[in-house]
Chains A and B, each alone.
Chain A
Amino acid sequence: MLQRQFRGMSPMWREMEQLRREMDRLWGELAAPFEAPALRGYPAMNVWMNENGAVVTTELPGVLSDNLDINVADNTLTVSGSRKPEELEEGATYHRRERAYGTFTRSFQLPFKVDPQKVEASLNNGILTITLPRAEEDKPKKIAVRVS
């Protein structure tokens, strides 16, 4: 489909284009749960939240905890690490190589300030789970309404 914008686009054509885009958006919304989510880098991250903080999970198969670095500064979480390639015996040859090796760095900005002292991380079956509690001073203050 022609995506380029023409300078001299007729109003009718523009309207058609708008309608098409609107339809695409609607279809997109309907199909959204079945589509692959938007990726921003490696590794892919899922973020869970509640009023007290967030839990970030990522899939890191074959990454050892010794080769993993987790940093938290203010509201930014940075996960970096590496995956080492398998050491092959002499004379062995690859039939397939789909798994990548190397280094990675990924930062994620949270909508709140994290208490770095309370951050916990665990690596289980290749899934990294990081619990990021919200800093106490950053939490919303509840204001009680006094009844007079």
Chain B
Amino acid sequence: MAEETKELQMEQAKKQELLEGDAERTRSRLVFVPRVDIYEGNDAIVVLADMPGVAPEAVDITLESNVLNINGYVTPQYPEGYSLAWAEYRIGDYQRSFTLSEEIDQERIEATVKDGVLRLVLPKATPTTRKIAIKGA
């Protein structure tokens, strides 16, 4: 597959800073927009978000009236006894919101964080309106 041998470009290393909306954050820290992949399967929507430096317990996810909020908090770890000599990336929290068009079964949402990647499985709610099959005579 051509995609697998593709070389990761410098663009991918760039972090997009979150533009402050109406509501300011209480913590004055850099906030980045995580890169995401979102795909829809037969019975769930899966969100993958790159959040390097975020520990599994430092993720906050809320879903309120179809708005999905993803927050990842980073505890910066600086090597002790060293001083920064060259910097290409900055450290900060991650935040991103999505409006979901699909009905989601909130009770069964699953979130895991592994190797700095958040994986969110949003199961589609089973439709309450059932299709009624018409029996042939």
| A positions within 8 Å CB-CB of B | 36-50, 54-55, 57-64, 82-86, 88-89, 91-104, 123, 125-127, 129, 131
Contacts and interface: CB of A to CB of B under 8 A. Distances in A.
Given A58-B89, A85-B3, A126-B52, 5 more contacts: A36-B17, A61-B50, A91-B41, A92-B46, A99-B12
24 contacts: A39-B13, A39-B14, A42-B10, A47-B86, A47-B87, A48-B82, A49-B83, A54-B85, A59-B89, A82-B4, A85-B4, A86-B46, A92-B46, A95-B38, A98-B37, A99-B12, A100-B8, A101-B8, A102-B5, A123-B115, A125-B52, A125-B55, A125-B113, A127-B53
A44 B8 CA distance: 12
A93 B102 CA distance: 14
Q: Which 3 A-B pairs have the closest CB atoms?
A: A126-B116, A48-B82, A102-B6
B85 A97 contact: no
B48 interface: yes
Contacts of A131: 79
A40 B10 CA distance: 7
Interface residues of B, number: 47
A62 B116 contact: yes
A83 B117 CA distance: 12
Contacts of A96: 36-38
A147 to B, nearest CB: 31
Contact of A101 (B6, B79, B85, B116): B6
Given A61-B50, A99-B50, A43 B13 contact: yes
Contact of A62 (B36, B38, B50): B50
B44 to A, nearest CB: 9
B51 A98 contact: no
A47 B9 CA distance: 20
B52 A46 contact: no
